[in-house]
Amino acid sequence: MEATIGLVAAAATADDLKAANAAIGAGFAYGLAAIGPGIGIGYVAGKAIEAMARQPEAAGMVRTTMFLGIAFTEALALIGFVVFILLGL
């Protein structure tokens, strides 16, 4: 594997165009897929912290449920990531 920083020559054939569009699509796919789950996870974690601060003795139960909620929310972002890998690389 030879990774190099250098000038990338611009030579656009049909295949290059397709690859470029796929790369752009991949970037958008992951970026858009991350918005919703990002808000969702923030909401879940924030509410869980609120609940724990109010009732520290229930912290264990709240934490379990919080991880469950995060896991379900995160799945959407991760599907976006898989699409990103499939399209982009």
Residues that bind other proteins (CB under 8 A): 1-8, 60-61, 64, 67-68, 71-72, 74-75, 78-79, 81-82, 85, 89
CB of 62 to other proteins, least distance (A): 11
End-to-end Cα distance, the chain? 15
CA angle 34, 38, 40 (to 5 degrees): 125
Q: How far apart are CA 27 and CA 84, in angstroms?
A: 7
Task: Decide whether 39 or 82 has the Cβ nearer to other proteins.
Answer: 82
CB of 2 to other proteins, least distance (A): 7
Q: Answer yes or no: are the C-beta atoms of 37 and 77 closer than 8 Å.
A: yes
CB of 68 to other proteins, least distance (A): 7
